[in-house]
């Protein structure tokens, strides 16, 4: 009787040993369709796409709106453009122009933010990024940080307000998250994590700054900068990003006003928007100053129209930026500027685009990225030798 009981027990144990793995496989296969990689079930556990494309020694990039990436015709056009030119990088918006998301987030808080009508399914998003990796195209997720009208609508308690308690807007009617409200800092962190899990090779933060236009005097910050030192607020935010994203093992970059790359006697000057190279350089891998010649004021460097002198403007900026970085006590960042490929102040064709690239090459920066809001780039300036 005892032998028979033992045999039954052994049989049951063997049966359980066979069934448990099958049960586990079954449970994993029941992961919602939102998660392309079935190893990922909830929250931020693992990267959805195990891409591992290292940063090119010299990034040569173009910018894509979320719509351009989502639209097959536009995407195919730009991929063909990359194939036929020296371009090796795409900077891709993960939100549309209003702040709506171009993907379905995993995080519960971000799920409250509406999706763009052009949003891709995550399965397709991951597949497209993998296809770009297979073509040796480096991908950077661009995150508009504090200028975010959609997030303001969903989380009005985090919005930048005026002295009357109403939501403040700039001259373009665009609302911002309050950069002095630490509760607002979580949103860009969560977006960066989402970009990582989708499979982007890098995350880039734009609009980490205080507003530069609008009726600035009416703004009432939740936590006004002590002594008016706005750069201290941003430096604290940089540190927060660094800590919160320490396990996200991909590079981080930041967009800066072009005039941050200018030597100044007043070391505390932050353009009244909080941006200083010396601060950003401590926390980001790459700094991308927007050194568009058309954006420099009349008379800058003695030029009546700086847009007509792209080489001179960018050469001067990069030299000053390198000086600032070299004389900073603890910086890890490399320069990778945004260049102008749009008509403003002057016609920008082959010669002016190439002049900017020449300035970058001569200053041995880590690459460059072209900006055109319509994603139409000057092919003649970018052809392979």
Other beta carbons within 10 angstroms of residue 247's beta carbon come to 8
Average pLDDT over residues 196-222: 97
Report how far residue 307's alpha carbon sits from residue 309's, in angstroms, rounded to the nearest whole number: 5
The CB-based long-range contact list for 69-78 (8 Å cut-off, 24+ gap) reads 69/93, 69/102, 69/120, 69/128, 70/102, 70/116, 70/118, 70/119, 70/120, 71/118, 74/375, 75/128, 78/375
Cα torsion angle, 238, 242, 248, 252, sign: positive
pTM, whole model, 2 decimals?
Answer: 0.88
Q: Could you give the domains of the chain?
A: 56-381 (3.20.20.80)
**Mean pLDDT value of segment 214-233:** 96
Tell me the pLDDT tens digit for each residue of 319-372. 999 999 999 877 889 999 999 999 999 999 999 999 999 999 999 999 999 999
> How confident is the model at residue 329, as a pLDDT?
75
| Residue 199: burial class (beta carbons within 10 Å; 0-12, 13-18, 19+) | buried
Specify the pLDDT at position 188.
98
Q: What share of the chain is helix, strand, coil (3-state, %, to 5)?
A: 40, 15, 45
pLDDT of residue 332: 84
**How does pLDDT run across 95-126, given as a tens digit for each residue?**
999 999 999 999 999 999 999 999 999 999 99
pLDDT, tens digit, 9 for 90 and up, residues 33-75: 343 433 233 344 444 455 456 899 999 999 999 999 999 999 9
The pLDDT of residue 16? 44
In 267-296, which positions are buried (b, 16+ CB within 10 angstroms) versus exposed (e)?
A: eeebbebbbbbbbbbbbbbbbbbbbbbbbb
How far apart CA 337 and CA 368 sit, in angstroms, is: 5
């Amino acid at each position: 009787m005892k032998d028979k009981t033992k045999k039954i027990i052994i049989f049951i144990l063997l049966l359980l040993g066979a069934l448990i793995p099958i049960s586990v496989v079954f449970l994993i296969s029941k992961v919602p369709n939102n998660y392309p990689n079935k190893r990922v079930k909830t929250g931020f556990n693992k990267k959805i796409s195990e891409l591992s494309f290292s940063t090119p020694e010299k990034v040569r990039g173009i910018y894509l709106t979320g719509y351009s990436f989502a639209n097959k015709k536009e995407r195919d056009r730009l991929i063909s453009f990359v194939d036929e030119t020296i371009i090796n990088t795409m900077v891709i918006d993960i939100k549309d122009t209003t702040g709506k998301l171009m993907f379905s987030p995993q995080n519960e808080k971000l799920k409250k933010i509406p999706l763009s009508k052009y949003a891709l399914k995550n399965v397709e998003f991951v597949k497209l990024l993998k296809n770009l990796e297979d073509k040796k195209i480096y991908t950077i997720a661009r995150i508009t940080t504090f200028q975010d009208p959609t997030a303001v609508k969903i989380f009005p308690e985090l919005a930048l307000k005026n002295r009357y308690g109403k939501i403040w807007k700039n001259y373009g009617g665009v609302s911002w998250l309050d950069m002095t409200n630490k509760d607002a800092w979580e949103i860009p962190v969560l977006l960066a994590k989402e970009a990582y899990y989708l499979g982007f090779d890098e995350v880039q933060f734009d609009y980490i700054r205080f507003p530069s236009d609008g009726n600035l005097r009416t703004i009432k910050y939740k936590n006004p900068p002590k002594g008016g030192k706005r750069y201290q607020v941003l430096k604290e935010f940089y540190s927060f990003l660094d800590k919160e994203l320490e396990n996200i093992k991909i590079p981080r970059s930041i967009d800066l006003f072009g005039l941050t790359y200018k030597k100044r006697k007043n070391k505390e000057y932050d353009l009244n928007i909080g941006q200083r190279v010396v601060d950003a350089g401590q926390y980001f891998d790459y700094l991308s100053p927007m050194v568009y010649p058309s954006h420099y004021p009349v008379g800058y460097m003695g030029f009546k129209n700086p847009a007509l002198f792209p080489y001179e403007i960018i050469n001067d900026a990069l030299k000053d930026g390198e000086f600032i970085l070299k004389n900073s006590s603890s910086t890890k960042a490399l320069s990778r500027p945004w260049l102008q490929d749009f008509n403003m102040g002057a016609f920008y064709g082959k010669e002016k685009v190439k002049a900017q690239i020449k300035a970058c090459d001569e200053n041995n920066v880590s690459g460059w990225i072209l900006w055109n809001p319509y994603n139409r780039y000057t092919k003649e300036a970018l052809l392979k030798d």
